[in-house]
């Protein structure tokens, strides 16, 4: 066990690059803009919410560790971002996933300074897109529990995964020597194979929450989605 951790620590690239400073500044500006002051106060006041947030964060990181690496900068794994967005709101989910993102950058990417880029491009922006998709579904489609699960959860998770892959592929293309052809053949063409399992995973978990723990969802209400008016 000690040999594993020593080898892992030895492989971590601690070198600083000037690109990291720009990404750190953009990430910091984004966090200042979306900082969830109200939600964090609720977390500090409610022990059950705090415990639920920690357990979900731990589960998400465990999900990210089931990773398939095809390149030092390219990794394929389930995200669970849509589930987090529907449980805690996209702002609080963005803050909660900073810790898994930090651990992923250190242990999987093995480039700790990539934390800023990965948190912003691969996590924060897809979370925001997931919220926009859910917001549009809520305002444009009928308020029905099936619409909430299928469109706000299932399809939304597939779109979020696709956005995650596209944004991170664009970042890798602009900041490394990986060619566009390599990204297309070995990374982006796998998107359809991952979108359905990601959608299924999120959709199943959201369905279970709607049935057994609807109070755990951020803004779900039986009065809106189930009761006839």
Q: Are β-strands 74-76 and 68-71 bridged in parallel, bridged antiparallel, or unpaired? A: antiparallel
Backbone dihedral angles phi then psi of residue 83, each to the nearest 5 degrees:
-60, -45
Which letter, b or e, does each residue of 107-134 get, where b requires 16 or more Cβ atoms within 10 Å of its Cβ?
bbbbbbbbbbbbbbbbbbbbbbbbbebb
Residues in contact with 40: Cβ distance below 8 Å, sequence separation at least 6, in sequence order: 92, 95
Mean pLDDT score across all residues of the chain = 90
Residue 8: what pLDDT? 59
Residue 6: what pLDDT? 67
Q: Rounded distance, CA 30 to CA 148, Å?
A: 28
Residue 58: what pLDDT? 94
Q: What is the pLDDT of residues 89-104, one digit of tens each?
A: 999 999 999 999 999 9
Q: Write the burial class of residue 199 (CB in 10 Å: 0-12 exposed, 13-18 middle, 19+ buried).
A: buried
Low-confidence ranges of the chain (pLDDT < 50): none
pTM for this entry: 0.92
């Amino acid at each position: 066990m000690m040999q594993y951790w020593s080898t892992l620590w030895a492989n971590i690239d601690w070198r600083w690059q000037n690109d990291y400073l720009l990404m750190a500044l953009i990430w910091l500006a984004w966090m200042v803009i979306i900082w969830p002051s109200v939600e964090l106060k609720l977390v500090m006041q409610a022990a059950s919410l705090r415990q639920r947030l920690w357990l979900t964060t731990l589960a998400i990181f465990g999900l990210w560790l089931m990773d398939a690496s095809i390149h030092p900068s390219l990794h394929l794994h389930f995200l669970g971002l849509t589930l987090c967005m529907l449980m805690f709101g996209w702002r609080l989910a963005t803050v909660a996933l900073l810790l898994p993102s930090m651990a992923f950058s250190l242990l999987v990417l093995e480039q700790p300074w990539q934390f800023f880029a990965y948190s912003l491009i691969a996590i924060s922006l897809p979370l925001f897109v997931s919220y926009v998709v859910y917001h549009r579904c809520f305002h444009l489609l009928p308020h029905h529990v099936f619409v909430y699960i299928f469109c706000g959860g299932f399809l939304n998770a597939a779109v979020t995964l696709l956005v995650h892959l596209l944004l991170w592929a664009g970042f890798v293309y602009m900041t490394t020597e990986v060619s566009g052809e390599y990204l297309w053949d070995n990374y982006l063409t796998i998107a359809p194979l991952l979108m359905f399992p990601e959608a299924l995973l999120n959709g199943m978990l959201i369905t279970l929450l709607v049935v057994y723990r609807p109070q755990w969802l951020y803004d779900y209400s039986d009065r809106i989605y189930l009761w006839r008016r």
